[in-house]
Structure 1
Amino acid sequence: MWHNSLITQLAVSPVCGYLARDAGAAEPTAISALALAAQGQTDAARQAADWLAATQATDGSVAVRRDTDGPCWPTSLAALAWHTVDPVDFAEQIDCAVTWMLSIRGKTQPRSSEVHHDSSLVAWPWVVGTHSWIEPTALHVLALKATGYGDHPRVREAVRLLVDRQIPGGGCNYGNTGILGQTLWPHVQPTGLALWALGGETLGRGRIKASIAWLRQALCERTTCTSLAWGLLGLQAHDSHHSGTIPDGAADWIEQAQARNSAGQRSAYKAALLSLAAGAVEGRDCLTAPEVRDTSTTRGPDHAVEENVQ
């Protein structure tokens, strides 16, 4: 019942910010569209998708907020939302977003013994002109896979980066694995996002299994809303045939997290994320709405884009 109530409330104001009184922002609105579409609230999901389309710049990017020029990493989430809500009606927006995403390259540097990860791999940054990091890379991989570009060379290199950034004992930090001889601590949110993007991959299975094991023991009833949601979405991507990857009690943890959210910040963004996590625990594919599940195609590296180094 709590989930139905959450979705009903979200459908009233599908364009949302991070907190209850915030103006609409790209990431929360895209997550809202995904959550609403997954629960069959197509009209409300389209409102959110239309808002994102109105926000899209002529170069295909979607900035964090309507009144800013960047950063534009939420373009990945906007593409996911459009693909989920209606990949036909939003085909132009998706194609423009893909063109922009494939043009953005994280800044590399020569490998060094002081930095433990492979800093020569190219993926996606938070801000144009900076190094590639776990979370924006994972979001771009998810978006490009969903829209048919899973075999594109940029995506394959990004997958190698996500595997390379797994900490040897399991889990991910925000982008580094170690520095100056010190192994860094893993965190739940980037680990969940990385695992979600690595769903179905065979590369680096040993590292992925270690991260799954770490994340399963790290999640609990006290995990914060956003970390819990991203963590469970990451685990669900590796829970084929309900093999027990999702921890016992996960559904209760989500309900408890939403109760805390309702009693405190009343964040629609957190509510939408928890809705996605609840669907994932139930085994639903939250990236494709039921009525458009069979519309995706696989596209290769021939997408017409000039990959400028930025």
Structure 2
Amino acid sequence: MRVTFLGTSGAVPTTERNPTALLVEREGDRLLFDCGEGTQRQMMRFETGFDVGHIFVSHLHGDHVLGLAGLLQTWDFNERDRPLAVHAPAGTRSRVEQLIAPTGEQPSYPVRIHQVEAGETVLDREEYEVRAVDVEHRTTAVGYALIEDDRKGRFDREKAETELGLEPGPKYSKLHRGEPVEHEGRTIHPEEVVGPPRPGRTVVYTGDTRPTESVIDAADGADLLIHDGTFGDEHHDRAEKTAHSTAREAATVAREAGAKRLALTHLSTRYTGRGWQLEEQAEEVFDGRVFMADDGMRVEVPYPDSDREFTVEMLDRAG
């Protein structure tokens, strides 16, 4: 699973940071979370690909949605015919419709606007789901959790062959699917050669929010929590007033949730050039597992039982 940060700034862009957007790639699926101004250019710049079927909007503040019209229009120019689903908080349908067609023209391809509420499964796939998460902001808002299903246990081929005398073939597949097989007058049960289910991965994106118990619950054991970290300690009052979080508060949420990694995003322009200060404050609570997200940062999230490591790399920022 790969997460590319397309925009990591707070309410307004800077020369280094675009407004909020991030793209998650999973086994060929591309999912776009929020779509701030200039998102389509960031997708080109960091070569994420444009084959997106679902856009998940956390809330309708401009820095999270003003890129929608341009992106949808570009798809129109490129003769897209694949349907697009835009998921947004309940009660916002008419405003989303106005956002995606500011010229008064509707896209030539089907666009479905799906209004979502916290706790709802927004997207249900065979191997994963995307669930809306309750957050606390100063407007109607949700976060999103991408949760993979448990995977099949490992198949013990050596035991199947040497101890049970099973040759490779269809019986292997049946056992791995959880079905018993008959062999030489006896029944072989799946648990004899298949290990316990292996956990999938969980990535949680909060959008803009105060620290909440609902996010802690959603991020329980998450492989990556992407949390509002707009302010530093010195602007805690401002964070409360505007319904954002400080980096330290985000780290506390990650610690209480037992998350494996925390990405801070939505950095206020007050900290331009010194985001490392917020990272240091978060490190005091969630040591060694925090990073400040930057535009063009790509994160590889391995399976929990994989021998691969969690990696963070910066893509070419030229252009």
Structure 1 length-normalised TM: 0.32
Question: Would you tell me which structure has more strand in proportion to its own residues?
Answer: 2
Question: Would you tell me which structure has more helix in proportion to its own residues?
Answer: 1
Structure 2 length-normalised TM: 0.31
Higher RCO (Cα < 8 Å, 6 or more apart):
1
- Max radius of gyration: which structure? 2
